[in-house]
Structure 1
């Protein structure tokens, strides 16, 4: 089993790099993109902090370098250091050869990841499957079926350890020699939600858990969009299974498109509001899929780079067709059975009928209000909208400075504003107001 060192196994150079990554992360005015930009420009986080007085030479504003010199980052960085010493998790640094190449290529790649489990999965081709937290039984069955055959095809199946589709995906993929990676929106030691505790322990033992967040970090709404970029960033593509019109899963799909990943969607029954999000993805050019074979066939050229033969994929397709009826049974009662759908071309159903989930809980929820009139904006959200209206589109780091918000609070507010249709994310982590 390939692994990476625990904190206490880090050598002197690795500890210097880890401390420097914490210093950059906790420096006010530096977001993930700026931190990565510095590490890439200087070759490492450690080299970047040694040259903090020269940051303007690579195009950064003077303020972050001045803030860094003031060392206000030191107390929170020390708290994270001490938490890691106590927990002794495995630590994957951006400078480590084991760091996944697809993730490393992102302009906002994390400088460090905490992990538990089998790190050899990061050398496999990865593929993400995401969907609704409150998915119906049929959607969970479809997600599990897809994950089982994707894992059997040699892919490590990535998801976000939430309820619903995520849990079904991880459980199914684990049955195929542990081929599943869970990316957390909490610290690596926090099992969330509580209902997934058993799955959490299985993933630690047989799969791989990853987190960008410090040990002990509890779930916060702003953490989950940060996590989503890692889910898609690790992966060759993303499959969305059951997503309402404003589902948080669509944000993962949008991030995948920004990262030049393939996006796939399982269409549901026409006029079923639980599938409006996936229907819209198909309208916008996502691949409509009705079996894992569709995905494996599309990815075959990339999978051959990892030693997955065409013969193996053909055999899996034949096996899947034989087993499909068993894996995805017809349901009785009020649940609408899954079937290949006719994507509706009619105007969307009004919001009051859309059956949206709540986005006030972290995870893959949709816009708050359940179809009622939009609630009043929070103070942070109002300031963000005001800044974007006055100044036009802003990059996330510049926006954080303009409204004096830490990145976690900024992301929490932006995700709500995006789901409410008040702001839109542009390429390069820039945002503009829509209202």
Structure 2
């Protein structure tokens, strides 16, 4: 899908037309109306078609199964004070605003019975058209769990999945950092306003996500961290996603809330079992007992999701190529330079077997395979050669332009690009652009 078209469909506040502003104001009216929760708001917009229509038909709310009090509260106008505060905050910040009625609103999320009416966005909104998969886990994760999470995120994102997590410390930070370097990249769902970096230790990651990934929040701009907001945002993490993977979780971990929500939303739930007697893994052990699928590699997940990924143009051949690359990297039994958030000085031998040896390069770094620009192209497919020829001829290109220049369909282009990235022949740049490295 054309990125500029996506941006037009997810305008900044000041770019909203008259109809969009009416819908935004009506969405605020519902959200700030006493007696209406997320589920009641969703019931109304489904019944009426939009927030604006729901507000106009407030006298009929009891016919939709609501009690009389919310309708009376709306007519009293008491909601206007806090709704106006959010309106003014949006005017000052001028964020991108995605309404429930917008065609770009993620279909999986739209179907939730408590889908948010408003999402504030910062970053590349084209990621919302990608297949999404969530990876969550402990904030105080051990080195092995961090290495496993980095490995999973790297290979899932290399498969074209946008990896979703919650921008917390520990596993979340590792997941975002690793996925950002791959074709699928990453989506972070905040428990604060879209302009608030929390925790402060993730400030650098927050800026990278704004530049190369996507940040989402349902909370008003300027909303400070409050404990109750984080469990609420978890339904969006799972709601965006085809499935959820839990890496290391104690018995009372917040990650288990996301897993429970995923089950309620009819999403697939996966878990990395971990050491049998380690209390940090008791939560994942319980998930497996309750029916979550134990996984030991990203290939397990990609194979399981293959039928659904085909709807997004991800071919079986592409998934097979990724599986072979993952097994080959693990077989070398070498530590990887995984996401900088891991800060692993000496991974354990158990972690090494799960971490790819050829990790994605730091921005600006040249992979070893590309150090010699005259390296031969053994193992590069015909499609890959056409891509390299187009990049050498035109310089860095956006994915759609590259497909045209190389005369390739989107699915063939994506499959070839993954192989080229793993071989160190191309590098992805911000804005879904690619450049040749060899």
Q: TM-score scaled to structure 2, two decimals?
A: 0.75
Q: Hey, what's the Cα distance between the residues in 2 that align with 1:75 and 1:120? A: 34
Q: The residue matched to 1:294 in structure 2 has which SS?
A: helix
Equivalent in the alignment of 2:179 = 173
By how many angstroms is 1:337 displaced? Answer: 4.9
For the Cα contact (< 8 Å) 2:137–2:170, is it kept in 1? yes
Describe the shift of the 1:311–1:192 C-alpha distance in structure 2 as closer, same or farther (beyond 3 A).
same
Task: Decide whether the 8 Å contact of 1:7 with 1:84 is kept in 2.
Answer: yes
Say if 1:178 and 1:235 are closer, same or farther in 2 by CA, change over 3 A: closer
Deviations 1:32-68 (A, max 9, x none): 0001111111000000011111100111011111111
1: CA distance between counterparts of 2:213 and 2:53?
34
Structure 1 segments of 4+ aligned residues over 3 angstroms from their partners: 325-329, 331-340
Q: Deviations over 1:338-393 (max 9, x none)?
A: 599xxxxxxxxxxxxxxxxxxxxxxxxxxxxxxxxxxxxxxxxxxxxxxxxxxxxx
Residue pairs, 1:144-223, within 5 angstroms = 144-177=150-183, 179-223=185-229
Q: Partners in 2 of 1:171 and 1:334 — Cα distance?
A: 18
- Displacement after TM superposition at 1:334 (Å): 12
Moved more, 145-154 or 169-178: 169-178
Query: Offset at 1:328?
Result: 6.7
- Correspondence 1:62 to 2:68: yes
| SS at 1:91 equivalent | strand
What's the CA shift string for 1:383-427, capped at 9, x where partnerless?
xxxxxxxxxxxxxxxxxxxxxxxxxxxxxxxxxxxxxxxxxxxxx
Match of 1:48 among 12, 33, 54: 54
**Alpha-carbon separation, structure 1, partners of 2:177 and 2:346:** 25
1:107 has 2:113 as partner: yes
SS of 1:305's equivalent in the other structure is helix
Paired position in structure 1 for 2:334: 326
SS at match of 2:163: strand
**Aligned counterparts of 2:336 and 2:277: Cα–Cα separation in 1:** 21
State whether structure 2 residue 19 is matched by structure 1 residue 10. no
1:278 corresponds in structure 2 to 284
The more displaced of 190-199 and 63-72 is: 63-72
Separation in 1, partners of 2:172, 2:335 = 17
Q: Could you tell me how far apart the structure 2 residues matched to 1:210 and 1:307 are?
A: 25
Structure 1 residues 327 and 223 mapped into 2: Cα distance closer, same or farther (>3 Å)?
farther
Name the counterpart of 1:84: 90
How do 1:16-415 and structure 2 match up within 5 A? 16-177=22-183, 179-324=185-330, 325-326=333-334, 337=350
1:128-187: CA deviation from partner (whole Å, max 9, x where unpaired): 000001111111111010000000001000000000000000000000146100000000
Query: SS at 1:29's partner residue?
Result: coil
Q: 2: CA distance between counterparts of 1:334 and 1:114?
A: 38
| C-alpha contact 2:249 2:256 (8 A) present in aligned 1 | yes
- Give the gaps of 5 or more residues in structure 2: 338-343, 354-438
Distance 2:251 2:348 in 1: 19
What's the CA shift for 1:121? 0.6
SS in structure 2 of the partner of residue 95 of structure 1? coil
Deviation at 1:326, TM superposition (A): 3.5
Q: 1:336 to 1:60 in 2, by over 3 A?
A: farther
Larger Rg: 2
Query: Aligned partners of 2:222 and 2:334: how far apart in 1?
Result: 41
RMSD: 1.9
Distance 1:194 1:242 in 2: 23
- Aligned equivalents of 1:154, 1:146: Cα separation in 2: 13
Deviation at 1:333, TM superposition (A): 9.3
CA distance in 2, matches of 1:99, 1:228: 17
The Cα offsets for residues 249-290 of structure 1, whole Å up to 9 and x where unpaired, read as 001000000000000000101110000000000011100000
Answer yes or no: is the 8 Å Cα contact 1:27–1:64 preserved in 2. yes
